[in-house]
Amino acid sequence: MREFAFQPTARIDQAVQAHASDAGAAFIAGGTTLIDLVKLDVMRPARLVDVSRLPLDDVERLDDGRLRIGATVTNTDLAHHPLVTEHYPLLSQALLSGASTQLRNMATTAGNVMQRTRCPYFRDVAAACNKRQRGSGCDALHGINRMHAVLGVSEHCIATHPSDMCVAMAALGATLTLEGPNGTREMAFGDFHRLPADRPDLEHELEEGELITHVTLDTPVEGAGSHYLKLRERASYEFALASAGAVVAVKDGTIDEARLALGGVGTKPWRAVEAEKALRDQPAETATFERAAEVAMRGAIPREHNAFKIPLARQAIARALSRAVAASVNR
């Protein structure tokens, strides 16, 4: 048993100050990932700064049409919020496909953004893992890597990013508001998560002591339909083998705008930018979707047990695009 201090906070500045004053501190809200990792001895915080009581549990429509989501809004509340179901159904679908009801009731928006990999080697302190301990090696490279990533990988890490919510946010476009010792700043969602490269231990762009306070979704794409498709071994609560979140606007049978992001196959929430380019101004038909799926998976690097993810992801992409187009046409 490792001892740690627990510090409740009621103000954002108080939380930031408490974290900044202790190099071994970590923020906690729902704790659905952090507590697991503490129990496994993967994370060893000296102090837990409780941010669950901060006034960050609102969802509001801004004057410019964007949607501002507080960091402590739970996954359940966000999935069922009328502004989300009406204007961002992709996000609602993604949230409801993740975890179990009990976990969604506790998990928060910012906590989901910060969610760490479910790689079994990362969670086993007896295994070599560059993400957990820099320079120790990666047992997944030549181990059981069926659930691991094929996009954005390196010779130092092939761990998959596990979040469904983040896939939807990558497709929709979003901005993170960060509060830290040096004040407030904003960052594009797509720039937040880092590729592993030779530093898998650096997972995101947060500076020391910074706290995510809000996620603001971009203005919805006019006339677009969307769909989130998650392929997994068990439909109730399993993590994705491959998933695709698609937002498509169709005019006169031609794709006017397309957004596409992938889960289960990337080391970060994977925005398929080149595939989006391949979709625009093309006929909204199966052949177009299949070509875009091929483009999206170019550069994928399989390992011994996860090569099946490449054709599986192509199928997920084509199906998600087809259903998003149908939703756009039927608006």
Which domain CATH number covers 238? 3.30.390.50
DSSP 245: E
Do 246 and 258 meet the contact criterion of CB atoms below 8 Å apart?
Answer: yes
* Residue of 297, 264, 259 lying closest to 277 (CA atoms): 259
Buried b (16+ CB within 10 A) or exposed e, 227-244: bbbbbeeeeeeebbbbbb
Determine the Cα–Cα distance for residues 88 and 81; give it in Å rounded to an integer: 10
Determine the Cα–Cα distance for residues 72 and 75; give it in Å rounded to an integer: 9
Q: Let me know if residue 309 belongs to a domain.
A: yes
Per the structure, the complete domain to which residue 246 belongs is given by: 224-329
pLDDT on residue 242: 98
* Residue of 273, 239, 256, 278 lying closest to 324 (CA atoms): 256
Q: Let me know if residue 303 belongs to a domain.
A: yes
pLDDT on residue 273: 98
pLDDT on residue 1: 75
For residue 116, what pLDDT band results from cuts at 50, 70 and 90? very high
For residue 153, what pLDDT band results from cuts at 50, 70 and 90? very high
For residue 160, what pLDDT band results from cuts at 50, 70 and 90? very high
What the block records as the tokens of 282 is 């093309």
pLDDT on residue 234: 86
Q: Let me know if residue 323 belongs to a domain.
A: yes
pLDDT on residue 110: 98
* Residue of 119, 128, 114 lying closest to 34 (CA atoms): 114
Question: Stretch 148-153: mean pLDDT, rounded?
Answer: 98
pLDDT on residue 38: 96
Q: Let me know if residue 177 belongs to a domain.
A: no
For residue 235, what pLDDT band results from cuts at 50, 70 and 90? confident
Q: Is the pLDDT of residue 236 over 90?
A: no
Which class for 92: exposed (0-12), middle (13-18), buried (19 or more C-beta within 10 A)? buried
What's the structural domain count of the chain?
Answer: 2
For residue 150, what pLDDT band results from cuts at 50, 70 and 90? very high
Which domain CATH number covers 45? 3.30.43
Determine the Cα–Cα distance for residues 119 and 30; give it in Å rounded to an integer: 21
pLDDT on residue 2: 87
Q: Is the pLDDT of residue 162 over 80?
A: yes
Q: Let me know if residue 171 belongs to a domain.
A: no
* Residue of 153, 159, 97, 98 lying closest to 123 (CA atoms): 159
Q: Is the pLDDT of residue 295 over 80?
A: yes
Identify the domain boundary among 34, 50, 66: 50
Q: Let me know if residue 75 belongs to a domain.
A: no
3-state helix, strand, coil in the chain (%, to 5): 30, 25, 45
For residue 56, what pLDDT band results from cuts at 50, 70 and 90? very high
